[in-house]
Chain A
Amino acid sequence: MDQQSIALTTLAKRQRRHLVPDLLRNLLKVRLAGAGLAVLAVITFCALAADWISPYSPIAQNTQAMLTSPSAAFPMGTDQAGRDMLSRVIFGSQVSLQVGIIAVGVAILTGIPLGLASGYYGGKLDDVIMRIMDAVLAIPTIVLALAIVAALGPGLWNVMFAVGVTAVPGYARLVRASTLSARERDYVTAAKAIGARAPRIIFLHIWPNVTAPIIVQASLGMSRAILAEASLSFLGVGVPPPTATWGGMLNGGFAYLELAPWLSVFPGMAIFVTVLAFNFVGDALRDVLDPRLGRALGLK
């Protein structure tokens, strides 16, 4: 065996050594994505069926049972106003999912047209749009969301709008990048040559290149939006009480940390699990939609 073939065999061995653990790692990711989907199904069910499955009203106060620790009657205990924590955690899922969906919707509906226009037309328009996006990106998410809510006033819709606005630049940049690379493809040149108009080219030829990254970004964006809303509500400038929100519940419970630590455990757990689930699903989607990794997994 000559030198070169020895080198090649060692290389092959090394690659094979990596292949099996890599596959395991990818399978684990698929498993995690499955777990994530299952968790999301449960949370969605809670949000939709909150009225039927929660044992008590999320806002009814019960002066007979204030700050009672978890028991059979109140599995997650009660808060300082005697409200059942389990019911509040269940109802909290409504706010979190709603904020996630609407905020991501706002970001997508604003970011996609901006990105398409920026990438397709280029030039001055591109400059103006991208400088505005740079400006928005320079303000940290939570600070910008705080400022917008301060300007618009608290309330569910304003929070959803504010959180959505902070995510717009991410989508605009993503769509712009995909548009730029699609614009130079032969089929776009061909479409232009036969006289297709801009809207037709954008929606028929460029759009399909944009959807995959958007789907990935959106699932990860759900978790960002849920975290942002929870932060705002925790700071007391988000969705106002008595609406049950996970962040707001942590805010209320913090004062009773020594007396009633359960108030600080369950809502936080709910946020954590939900965000983790969206991240798992998003990571898996990225792997599947990324052709290189997807093929390795045999998913494509």
Chain B
Amino acid sequence: MRQFVIRRLIQMIPVVFIISVIVFSLMHLVPGDPVSFMAGEDSMNLENIEYLRKQLGLDKPLPVQYALWVGRALQGDFGRSMRSNLPISEEISRRLPVTLQLAVASLLVSIFIGIPVGIISAVRRNSPLDVIATVLSMSGVAMPSFWQAILLIFLFGVTLRWLPVAGYVNIFDDPVGGLRALLLPAFVSGTSGAAVLVRQTRSAMLEVMAMEYIATARAKGLNERRVIWVHALKNALLPVVTILALSLGHILGGAVIIETIFAWPGLGRFTVQAIAGHDFQVVQAMVLITALTVLAANLFADIMYGWLDPRIQYT
């Protein structure tokens, strides 16, 4: 097992390298460098522009700039945000809890909607319940999250006035306010994941229910509830757990939209603002960190898979 993890980590190295090259070259595709964008806003004189370029290291050849950037990034130094002039690592750690809160909550929503509905769909296959669940999950996949968010804001925020239309409240400072602020964003972010999870759980359950050990469990007289919830579910959850870990990338991508709509000061909104403000160091850092997080989640999914299913041997 340990060997497997180590080997997977080594395999990740070239991928991480390629990601860093992609991210770096993307931001250097920009016609004109970041300084000229800054200079465009206030009329800086040429001397200042040269000075800034030097300070940011933009006068050096590209491979040198890349090496310097990677070297610093490895130490957690991503440079400074051009808009706030604060270290990017500081900006990120300030926003991380916000996005984490959203990610955890939406995972919970996905799990608590997706898995039970998927099980019921499989057990009551072709019943009206199953059809409704299928239609809803198809709609959930096709519905743009921002439209869903807008409609829910209109219903619960504007018309009924049950929930705030936007804004972030730290759930640890103010549990009630935090929960109220969290409800809509987490629901919107979680339902798109749930839509996928319903289908996966349903097909995994159907597959397991056709196995012989389920027939055995029934034959020895166990009641149906025990057969489904203990014998079938335990085995059907394997692929589902993997999908949950893989959905982290989806949630992080979705955070870009959800945080923008609900005005949450998290990492997703930070990325959008950085792009709108031509804050390229920030964009670089955010894309890199997001990709690394996704890779880590993939690795975690692989490890969980082996841990949950002892039949899988890592040699």
- A: residues with CB less than 8 A from B are 18, 21-22, 24-25, 131-132, 134-136, 138-144, 146-153, 223, 227, 230-231, 234-237, 247, 250, 254, 257-258, 261, 264-265, 268, 271-272, 275-276, 279
Contacts and interface: CB of A to CB of B under 8 A. Distances in A.
B249 interface: yes
Given A142-B256, A237-B275, A272-B142, A135 B22 contact: yes
Interface size class of B (residues with CB under 8 A): 35 or more
B48 interface: no
A25 B143 CA distance: 23
Nearest to B287: A147
Nearest to B12: A134
B253 A140 contact: yes
Contacts of B253: 140-143
Contact of B158 (A146, A150, A257, A272): A257
B146 A131 contact: no
A24 B126 contact: yes
Contacts of A235: 256-257, 260, 272
Residues of A contacting B: mostly: helix
Nearest to A280: B138
Residues of B contacting A: mostly: helix
Contacts of A148: 26
A250 B146 contact: yes
A131 B150 contact: no
Given A138-B295, A258-B158, A268-B151, A279 B15 contact: no
Contact of A144 (B138, B141, B158, B287): B287
A264 B154 contact: yes
Contacts of B276: 236-237
B18 interface: yes
B139 interface: yes
B290 interface: yes
Would you list the 9 A-B pairs with minimal beta carbon distance, nearest first? A140-B253, A268-B147, A21-B126, A135-B18, A276-B142, A275-B142, A138-B291, A150-B275, A151-B29
Contact of A150 (B16, B22, B154, B283): B283
